[in-house]
Structure 1
Amino acid sequence: MKWNINDVVHGFKVKRMERVQEVASDVYELEHVQSGARLLYLDSKDDNKVFYICFRTTPDNSKGTPHIMEHSTLCGSRKFPLKEPFVELVKGSLNTFLNAITWPDKTMYPVASRNDQDFHNLMDVYLDAVFYPNCLRNPQILMQEGWHYEMADENSPITYNGVVYNEMKGALSSPEALMEDKAMSTLFPDTTYAVESGGDPEVIPALSFKEFTEFHRKFYHPSNSFIYLYGNMDIDSTLKFINDEYLSAFTRHPVNSAVQTQQPFAKRKECEGSFGITEGESTDKKSIHALYTAYNDHMSTAEMLAFRILNYTLIDMDGAPLKKALTDSGICSDVSGHFETSLKQPVWTIEVTGSNPEDKDTFVSVVDGTIRKLALGGLDKDMLTAALNRIEFTLREGDFQGRPKGLYYGVHVMQQWNYDRDPFTALRYEEDLKILREGIEKHLFENLLLKYVVKNAHQVLVTMKPEKGLTEKKNAATAQKLDDFKKSLTKEQIQEIIENTKALKARQASGETEEALATIPLLSRSDLKREVEEVSQEEEKVQGITHLSYQENTSGITYLNLFFTLYGLKAEDVPYAYLLTTILGSMDTDNHTYQELTRISNTYTGGMSYAITSYDDKADNTKYVPVCAVRGKALTSNADKMMQLMGEVLNHTRFTDTGRLREILMEEKASWDMSLFDRGHALVMMRLMSYYSPAAQFKEQGSLSYYYFLSDLLEHFDEKAEHIKARLAETAAKIFTRKNLIVQEVGLKEEKQAVVNHLDAVIGDMPEGEACHTLSFVFPETGINEGFLSSGKVQYVAKGGNFVKHGFKFTGALRVMETILRYEYLWKRIRVLGGAYGAFTRIATNGDALLCSYRDPNLSETLKAYKELPEYLRHFDISEREMTKYVIGTMAPAETQLTPSMKGERAMVMRFTGQTHDDRQKVREQIIDCTQEDIRALAGLMDSVVSDKYFCVLGSEDKLKAESNLFDHLRSLTK
């Protein structure tokens, strides 16, 4: 260990230190003697270093002060007097993570980087931002990031605008978000959880500048902070820097921020709420019922892990008893559950969708009766064991798909640390696993259900009902309120709002001075790695099948990927192929029930998945490789069992159970219904590209077209059931043949041999099939320039085209341009000036390009901003230092630590798209050497994209109808 207990290192006193094997780190708990700041340091060999400073923020109203403060602190500070240092950092940092996050009771500012100097720079900017932000002196920052009255001239209506205001309009458009608000306010009426920390758009405009600044003075003090450091760093110089530059300026003082404990209820409470739907939607089976149960504030980590297992066993697992009881009751189309541990008192939610208001009593009766019966009569030990194995595999694998693992450890730590509990316990799991494994035989799980659920009246039953026109009614009420407000104003007051609007927009439109920009520390181009890592895999034939091996140390895990090409399908088969991937593993096979399949998978594997995807040709959007990808992972000692399971599912699934098929379709449709608006940007982007890209047309069959396909199947299920079953069987027979198959495993020699040895388990019963290598899909025309009507309060606006068709070619400079547009042009025009939460670009090497806004209050204004983008590029003129910043920021994604499975996928992308090492090397060199002239030269290319006639929008029914002249087609989002 580096220090001894009670050592003082640059003002930090060592309180505790231990080796925590689960995170492969020596862990030190320190406290800054003078300021009272707490610090946790995980000394790891990982070069992906993580820092955060977190404050316990406990609001007493729903004005969104924590959330708005999170945005505003990053809008300039003492040492970095820019309007948005955060954006300047993103433009020019090699960060592997850079963000800020607001929870109901804390606000975190995390950064991560693998570059030592970059890590120091990020830490410096963030510490200065939280302790010395300009937002305490400049009300325009609150106006921009929070809310303000907006008025162009005296004849214009007054409106509300602001980034967080619009973000929360979008966030609280979903029924589940509204339900969560209603539940929390009822479940925790006497604590901070009763209010919306993100902000309620109906309350946000009540936030004053005085209240805003007082919030910072109260909560943003080192005595109320938690500092976290992880990774391989010079800890001595890091602690010295934090002390000398920041904490030494503060003295400790008490901050009353503790999260209060809600006293338990003597009796379950009930509440109701409403959510908006469009006029064209039916209210039948659109209601939601949910039971929220709050636990006490001293659950052990083992007990919390146990409830994650119980949630999976009772609800999420195929054949889960509580889910089955609820679906069998006929009151819902889907059941979901969630165990939330990021609050002082954990909360378990059991939710049904696709219900009616009058089903409430049946819902409660089934939940209460089933849980009581299971608690008293006993749970299925095999199911518990399988669920525990699944959790254990996930914990040991530690695969966070490229995100810094140290960040995940740090977020998990706050689940204990924020409530003045032992942070070390959040990092350990070995003892908890042992307790739970032994507890299966000792009825531990049953006793937990009795203690925390059956005998616990601290519950809230929530019913959410659909209401036609509710969103429009609220919009009208807001407009009327603002109109009445305007009428109450004097001419001088109206003029003041107009002048404030102009002044804010002038500030937002203005650029930064060179002096201000120079305050942001910057790496140089010479710090960038010019050489692209070689990607190669061995290829051979095994039993006549192409077998690819990606050599990587996987710590004894076999990652197995089966790719079945789909050239032999017809266009009308493709929706059934997408549906097939939902069905597989969830229906009986010749030898096992679907419940048994789930238990086998959880017992012996780390999970199996089935997905339809495609890999677009690197240069031509009419060419692509469509595949059904079957992925599995298991300890190499269990590779044989994983492959037996794969063979069973692929070759022997029975599609004959009509009741089970209906259940799956209803669950799938319900899942789409609940998430449609939240995934609006993804839906409009894919729909847009399908207008001009044959490759995207294929993928769109699994997007909005798939949702409409699902809706139609369910609407006519009784008459189509036999047809659906037959089509699924036919489609599976076409896909799963030896001739279509390519096998890839990721691992070392032992993993490769395990796959070779047991390949017969997969292909032994698989038909040979016929080889086919040509695309023949012709999908139905959808029309173009569509507007999808929803009950949401904001828009997702997408526009695009293909520049290769206009004679242009892809170059690495386009990657730099994407960074410039996202964090300069689009950031200013659509987020800062327009008030949207964000906007971005997507540009593919085959020429497919698009622009998309996210949670955007505007529509035509955003399309206008897209149209004027080429002119911005033509006159692009910045300093060489700023150009270097954009180049460095563009290279940041290359710093991502790829997991073994991600490396294997990268190799397959290169194989299927035709991309070579030389292609990747050329693009990297073009990025690093990119000049302003290269960016200006792209104006014509982007002009071809925005001049194409294609756009697609999903948003508010009122807004889209008001601007209906823009669209060729207006369609209902839901069915």
Structure 2
Amino acid sequence: MTLLHGFQLEREESVPEIGCLARLYRHERTGAELLSLIGEDENKVFGVSFRTPPADSNGIAHILEHSVLCGSRKYPVKAPFLEMLKGSLKTFLNAMTYPDKTVYPVGSVNLQDFYNLVDVYLDAVFHPRITPDILKQEGWHYELESADAPLIYKGVVFNEMKGSYSSPDDRVSRLSQQSVFPDTIYGIDSGGDPKDIPSLTYETFKSFHERYYHPSNAKFVFYGNDDPERRLEILDGVLSEFSRIEVDSKIGLQPRFNAPRQLQHTLPAGAQEAGEKQARVTLNWMLDEVDDVELNLSLAILNHILVGTHAAPLRKALIDSRLGDDVTGTGLNTGLRQMRFGAGLKGIDEGDSEKVEALVLSTLERLAEDGLDPLTVEASINTIEFRLRENNTGSFPRGISIMLRSLNAWNYDRDPLSPLAWEAPLQMLKTRLASGERVFEDLIRRYLIDNVHRTRVLFTPDPEQSGREAADERAKLDAARAAMSDADVEAVIEETRALKRMQETPDSAEALSRLPMLKLKDLDRKTALIPIDIAERSGARVLTHDLATNGVVYADAGLDLRRLPPDLLPYIGIFRRALLETGAGDLDFVQLSQRIGRVTGGLSAQDFTSTVIGENRGVAWLILRIKTMPDKAAESFAILADVLLSARLGNHERIAQIVNEERAGLESRLVPGGSSIASTRLRASLEEGSWVDEQIGGVSYLNFLRQLAASIKEDGGAALTATLERIRGLLVNRNAMVFNLTADADGLTRVEPDLAGLLARLPSAAPAAYPDWLIPGLPRFEGLTMPAKVNYVAKGESLPKLGYKPGGAAMVASNWLRGGWLWDKVRVQGGAYGAFSSLDLRSGVMTFASYRDPNLMETVAVYDGAGGFLRGVAGNAVDLERAIIGTIGQLDTYRLPDAKGLVSMLRYLAGDSDERQQTIRDEVLNASPADIRGFADALDAVAAHGRTVVLGSEQAIKAANAGLEDRFTLTKVL
């Protein structure tokens, strides 16, 4: 047996679907497995995965995922993960806990940076510094400041999961999964239930790492254009000190039910208005374990057929029933050993759960018996095939996406390459369908209709639940405090102080110097340019980008929202969806969806807002994005013209559904997206672009949707239709639009006549004049209340208003804050899950925000101390260099060709230029201590004059108000 750096090659084959040569190795000494994927992608990826089945819901796997990144044998610093974030060109650096595995992936385009990240992560997972204090910091601990202070729980994961349990959507997903897997690890919460996390002991925590974080339980992946042999050498250098052990980490199978089951749970909710429906219901199926590539692919396509678009038959039947406002818990979960399929509705009357179940089952029976619409099947197959061939993962590295797909089989001891080689199974499926076989109808009957391993879970609103759970936590803490002797109390006080001393003690320069870091000389001093050609065609502005797109043409059509008077802006969210989801011309909603799916790679819409460079005004655009192949460009552009010109804006029934879906969706995003909601609200009074964001996606939009839903009930939607038609008349005008094409030179040439045909169909007129947008004032201290156990705290101000014009050096300082002061004070010491600083160089607005934060005014005090922190560290040359490198990494965000074309267009719309991008880069690279101190002075002004917005519980905000001179104005959001 020939070994190469301790590895035995077990298999080698080409996987053209991902453009890689795959080699599967096993490490002889430890039994560790390696999937080495050799390709041309410069965005290199490494990852290691461990099967980590938890025994209960104490969050042990999740807490360990956090903790192993808090220092290691080779790198004895408090947070090497954070230090690498500060000074790396990484394209990805994080870790993820799943119900049955924990994954540690990294990515970088820079080869030396990549090797640095691999080295740090390997030492972290195998030799972590998981002390009792690390468990206290990342998991949980009792905190007691003095003998007469209240005993509380603190811990990063503890507060993260309190935030998760405040989200109704998270609870619905979690409990729906647990309902069909009551006897396996999928029936518990690997993330951790806040009421169970305090049961985790250090001994259990330490032994979990020793049991599962061993090479014998490890699966490694390398991907990209790095040296394939060097991969083996690196791994063997780490693994060779271990010996093979037996690790019992297999994931058990759930025994099948003999009959369907019904369960009921409550969800935290705000006070219920008269007639308001807040209940939810999900139908959930467990599928058998599937070890067949074609069947897996068929089930994925079936999922898209049934619920993958707004016009999909099962999804549409649920919405059309008017039993609820929006779908919930819907779709196929493929990341488990036994897959789960769900379908449900939110915003129902709790007495209608059986009606929803009957509707789902009857719809499935009808589809299986009468057959699926062949055009729907064709559209779904084309959509899935386009996605597979394009392999467009956006900013997420392709290699990590491939790794996760592979683990869907590999984690259960199946072939890791099978999920990647989809070409032959797809052709076999097409052959079966062409022969007339009822493939998808048979799958519906086998896996859903005849499958009795099913649950119906009803979720009812409980306005008292949040208060009751808080009281239960307080009672547990009071009981624990009462059971303590005076000596115990002093011990907890001292442990609290000792933990804070550890957190506040900086790492030594010697320890920090061990971390492998890039140097400024390793950075490219020139901004990478994106090719752009700007022309006028038939009165329209047309931008083109000659980039290698693997034959795909990406086309964007921009509608200038600046042409709208301010009272029309809140309707844009409805208008955006109405263009694509109401039908067009002779085609109804379903037929249009089928046409889009059969012809294109997708048609979507998104918003863009910004401040114009050098001007005190905002821009706002609605951008329709379509993907196509050159030979289908003519019909694809015809679809684009049809939705712009003849979308059925008078489809009152569908538009009423869209309004309800938008409202329900935004309410569901309040908790998981709390930082964004609070930050947008904060900036809304500081600059026009964010004011528009607030109008079309923030708290103002939510209030607007609630009023709009009421008005539709009164007039049936006639007034709304007239408003939407008015918006179309103002926006759909090629003289006021911009068009953006990204493709290679041949693709651009081939679609020129098709673009001309699109432009010829669009109206041409003198654009409407820009109306005045007068931003209304908002309270300087604003509290947005909802039933939540954590807060989202934002503070900020316009720096130009304070007399400071930020540039590239200010970006460096903001980056330094994010990875230093805010991390240490808000996350590590404060126990919040995250804290951010954001500087928009176009508007000059500086924003601080926290995520899932147990504190409120304590966090504001941290923000106010940011200037002092920067002045104190400005002379630290090593940290300044790291902050510069990390900032360059942000400027050099890795983008696929379609994203490059879009970014180039957005820069153009904001008045940005290549010259300005280079100026910013130069300012970043040349940032000095004096620059950092200048920014610190500006932050002192933010502390004194900035605006503060908190999204959180009414009790927490009222408690904060009791000690404030300037009090928060309270507004109920949920």
TM-score by length of 1: 0.97
Instruction: Work out the percentage of aligned pairs sharing the same amino acid.
Output: 33
Residue 588 of structure 2 aligns with which residue? 593
SS in structure 1 opposite 2:240?
helix
Residue 630 of structure 1 aligns with which residue? 624
SS in structure 2 opposite 1:702?
helix
> Whole-Å Cα distance in 1 between the matches of residues 968 and 891 of structure 2?
41
Residue 818 of structure 1 aligns with which residue? 814
> Whole-Å Cα distance in 1 between the matches of residues 253 and 401 of structure 2?
26
CA contact (8 A) 1:567 1:772 kept: no
Residue 168 of structure 1 aligns with which residue? 161
CA contact (8 A) 1:587 1:654 kept: yes
Letter in 2 for 1:700: E
Residue 71 of structure 2 aligns with which residue? 76
Residue 735 of structure 1 aligns with which residue? 731
For 1:889-968, list aligned pairs within 5 A. 889-964=886-961, 967-968=967-968
Letter in 1 for 2:689: A
Residue 3 of structure 1 aligns with which residue? none
CA contact (8 A) 1:439 1:445 kept: no
| 2:532 is equivalent to residue 529 of structure 1 | no
Residue 304 of structure 1 aligns with which residue? 296
> Whole-Å Cα distance in 2 between the matches of residues 118 and 316 of structure 1?
39
CA contact (8 A) 2:603 2:626 kept: yes
Structure 1 residue 391, shift from structure 2 partner: 0.8
Letter in 2 for 1:923: I
Structure 1 residue 637, shift from structure 2 partner: 0.8
| 2:221 is equivalent to residue 228 of structure 1 | yes
Residue 48 of structure 2 aligns with which residue? 53
Deviations, residues 787-844 of structure 1 (Å, cap 9, x unaligned): 1111111111000001111221122111211221111000011001100011111111
Structure 1 residue 317, shift from structure 2 partner: 2.5
Letter in 2 for 1:972: K
Residue 292 of structure 1 aligns with which residue? 284
* Most deviating of 700-709 and 215-224: 700-709
Residue 394 of structure 1 aligns with which residue? 387
The one of 121, 136, 144 aligned to 1:143: 136
The one of 169, 182, 185 aligned to 1:189: 182
CA contact (8 A) 1:51 1:123 kept: yes
Letter in 1 for 2:713: D
> Whole-Å Cα distance in 1 between the matches of residues 872 and 780 of structure 2?
32
SS in structure 1 opposite 2:563?
coil
| 2:357 is equivalent to residue 364 of structure 1 | yes
* Most deviating of 755-764 and 490-499: 755-764
Deviations, residues 830-866 of structure 1 (Å, cap 9, x unaligned): 0011000111111111211100001101001001111
CA contact (8 A) 1:95 1:895 kept: no
Structure 1 residue 64, shift from structure 2 partner: 0.3
Letter in 2 for 1:713: L
Which stretches in structure 2 are left out of the alignment for 5+ residues? none
SS in structure 2 opposite 1:29?
strand
| 2:797 is equivalent to residue 801 of structure 1 | yes
Structure 1 residue 606, shift from structure 2 partner: 1.1
Residue 719 of structure 1 aligns with which residue? 714
Deviations, residues 292-345 of structure 1 (Å, cap 9, x unaligned): 111111342322222222222222324322233323333111225221111000
Which stretches in structure 1 are left out of the alignment for 5+ residues? 1-5
For 1:574-589, list aligned pairs within 5 A. 574-589=569-584
Residue 321 of structure 1 aligns with which residue? 313
| 2:846 is equivalent to residue 849 of structure 1 | yes
SS in structure 2 opposite 1:610?
strand
Residue-pair matches, total: 965
Residue 695 of structure 1 aligns with which residue? 689
CA contact (8 A) 2:685 2:776 kept: no
> Whole-Å Cα distance in 2 between the matches of residues 95 and 642 of structure 1?
36
| 2:705 is equivalent to residue 710 of structure 1 | yes
SS in structure 2 opposite 1:938?
helix
Letter in 2 for 1:921: Q
> Whole-Å Cα distance in 2 between the matches of residues 329 and 921 of structure 1?
55
Letter in 1 for 2:316: K
> Whole-Å Cα distance in 2 between the matches of residues 404 and 677 of structure 1?
27
Structure 1 residue 603, shift from structure 2 partner: 0.6
Residue 680 of structure 2 aligns with which residue? 686
> Whole-Å Cα distance in 2 between the matches of residues 474 and 771 of structure 1?
57
Residue 549 of structure 2 aligns with which residue? 554
> Whole-Å Cα distance in 1 between the matches of residues 750 and 402 of structure 2?
33
Structure 1 residue 895, shift from structure 2 partner: 4.2
For 1:478-877, list aligned pairs within 5 A. 478-620=473-615, 622-704=616-698, 705-720=700-715, 721-772=717-768, 774-845=770-841, 846-877=843-874
CA contact (8 A) 1:223 1:255 kept: yes
In structure 2, the CA distance between the partners of 1:945 and 1:302, relative to structure 1 (3 Å rule), is farther
* Most deviating of 523-532 and 688-697: 688-697
Letter in 2 for 1:321: P
The one of 869, 884, 887 aligned to 2:881: 884
SS in structure 2 opposite 1:426?
coil
> Whole-Å Cα distance in 2 between the matches of residues 612 and 885 of structure 1?
34
Structure 1 residue 774, shift from structure 2 partner: 3.5
* Most deviating of 228-237 and 600-609: 228-237
SS in structure 1 opposite 2:442?
helix
CA contact (8 A) 2:71 2:80 kept: yes
Residue 279 of structure 1 aligns with which residue? 271
Letter in 1 for 2:632: N
> Whole-Å Cα distance in 1 between the matches of residues 110 and 733 of structure 2?
47
* Most deviating of 747-756 and 67-76: 747-756
CA contact (8 A) 1:785 1:950 kept: yes
Letter in 2 for 1:263: P
Deviations, residues 157-180 of structure 1 (Å, cap 9, x unaligned): 100000000001111211122223
SS in structure 2 opposite 1:716?
helix
CA contact (8 A) 1:269 1:460 kept: yes
SS in structure 2 opposite 1:791?
coil
> Whole-Å Cα distance in 1 between the matches of residues 955 and 91 of structure 2?
40
Structure 1 residue 781, shift from structure 2 partner: 4.4
> Whole-Å Cα distance in 2 between the matches of residues 279 and 324 of structure 1?
30
Deviations, residues 272-311 of structure 1 (Å, cap 9, x unaligned): 1111112365683111100111111134232222222222
Letter in 2 for 1:961: K
> Whole-Å Cα distance in 2 between the matches of residues 330 and 139 of structure 1?
53
> Whole-Å Cα distance in 1 between the matches of residues 89 and 647 of structure 2?
47
> Whole-Å Cα distance in 2 between the matches of residues 194 and 687 of structure 1?
38
Residue 338 of structure 1 aligns with which residue? 331
For 1:354-503, list aligned pairs within 5 A. 354-440=347-433, 441-503=436-498
In structure 2, the CA distance between the partners of 1:634 and 1:691, relative to structure 1 (3 Å rule), is same
> Whole-Å Cα distance in 2 between the matches of residues 970 and 640 of structure 1?
53
In structure 2, the CA distance between the partners of 1:588 and 1:116, relative to structure 1 (3 Å rule), is closer
The one of 27, 31, 35 aligned to 1:32: 27
Structure 1 residue 209, shift from structure 2 partner: 0.4
In structure 2, the CA distance between the partners of 1:408 and 1:575, relative to structure 1 (3 Å rule), is same
Letter in 1 for 2:878: R
Letter in 1 for 2:682: L
In structure 2, the CA distance between the partners of 1:31 and 1:795, relative to structure 1 (3 Å rule), is same
What is the RMSD computed on CA atoms of the aligned residues? Answer: 1.7
> Whole-Å Cα distance in 1 between the matches of residues 92 and 868 of structure 2?
32
Residue 11 of structure 1 aligns with which residue? 6
> Whole-Å Cα distance in 2 between the matches of residues 24 and 938 of structure 1?
47
CA contact (8 A) 2:279 2:350 kept: yes
In structure 2, the CA distance between the partners of 1:140 and 1:904, relative to structure 1 (3 Å rule), is same
Deviations, residues 680-712 of structure 1 (Å, cap 9, x unaligned): 111111110012222321221112211211111
Deviations, residues 333-378 of structure 1 (Å, cap 9, x unaligned): 1225221111000111112111121111111111111112211221
> Whole-Å Cα distance in 1 between the matches of residues 271 and 149 of structure 2?
29
Deviations, residues 179-230 of structure 1 (Å, cap 9, x unaligned): 2332333311221111111110000000000010111111111111101111
